[in-house]
Amino acid sequence: MSSRIETVAHLAMSLGQKHLAPYGSVKSRHDFTQRQLMSCLILKAYLKTSYRGVIDWLQGHGALRKALGLEEKLPHYTALQKFSARKDVLAVAEALIARIGRAALRKEKRARAAVAMDSTGLEPTAASAHYLSRSGRRRSKYLKVSLSVVCGSLLPLGLVLDWGAQQ
């Protein structure tokens, strides 16, 4: 029986085939497919780790490497970082995460799968709210982060970033 992490990897690989071309360029080295790199990024988000952290996970988990087709060679953490910086990766990642979330909801054995949603506000500057109030300045806006997840598995279903209320 596979672990949840392996299940996420299998889902990311199978769903990535519908959204990603095998390679980013005809002239690329063809070391890793875009599906493999995107699956690594999804695992990075699922494991709440860094680029180096997900590579460390892969080094110590043979079944996970096999699920991603990375038995022979692992990408360098900078390859993941550079892949994530591409302009179209965010849109594909959002589509994949939404499909993975829907697939996880379908696999829930309970009659009703629970979904949770929460929002929080983040300061857009390094200055704390306390410092701003003591210096006589007012906060003009804040970053609002809203997230919905499947309860139990904590798979994300949606993420919205927006500016909060203007004062």
pLDDT of residue 111: 46
pLDDT of residue 74: 94
Q: Report the alpha-carbon distance of residue 57 to residue 67 in Å, rounded.
A: 13
**pLDDT 10s digits, 103-134:** 766 765 554 667 888 888 877 777 777 887 88
Instruction: Indicate whether 83 and 119 sit together in one domain.
Output: no
Tens-of-pLDDT digits for all 167 residues of the chain?
A: 467 888 888 888 887 777 777 787 778 788 898 889 988 988 888 888 899 999 999 999 888 999 899 999 999 999 998 888 887 777 777 777 777 777 766 765 554 667 888 888 877 777 777 887 888 887 777 788 888 887 776 667 777 878 877 65
Instruction: Indicate whether 22 and 93 sit together in one domain.
Output: yes
Please give the tally of structural domains in the chain: 2
Instruction: Indicate whether 55 and 85 sit together in one domain.
Output: yes
Instruction: Indicate whether 126 and 101 sit together in one domain.
Output: no
pLDDT of residue 55: 93
pLDDT of residue 143: 80
pLDDT of residue 11: 80
What b/e string do you get for 14-45 counting C-beta neighbours within 10 Å, with b at 16 or more? Answer: ebbeebbeeebeeeeeeebbbbbbbbbbbbbe
pLDDT of residue 153: 67
Are 93 and 20 within 8 A, CB to CB?
no
Instruction: Decide which of 106, 126, 155 is a domain's last residue.
Output: 106
Instruction: Indicate whether 89 and 117 sit together in one domain.
Output: no
Instruction: Indicate whether 115 and 61 sit together in one domain.
Output: no
Give alpha helix (H) positions in 50-88. 51-59, 62-68, 77-84
Q: Report the alpha-carbon distance of residue 78 to residue 67 in Å, rounded.
A: 21
Instruction: Indicate whether 115 and 95 sit together in one domain.
Output: no
Instruction: Decide which of 106, 128, 146 is a domain's last residue.
Output: 106
pLDDT of residue 1: 44
CB count within 10 Å of CB 4 equals 13
- Picking from 7, 103, 91, the residue whose alpha carbon sits closest to that of residue 46 is 7
Q: Report the alpha-carbon distance of residue 158 to residue 119 in Å, rounded.
A: 12
Instruction: Indicate whether 8 and 76 sit together in one domain.
Output: yes
Instruction: Indicate whether 49 and 98 sit together in one domain.
Output: yes
Q: 138: domain range?
A: 110-163
3-class SS of residue 120: strand
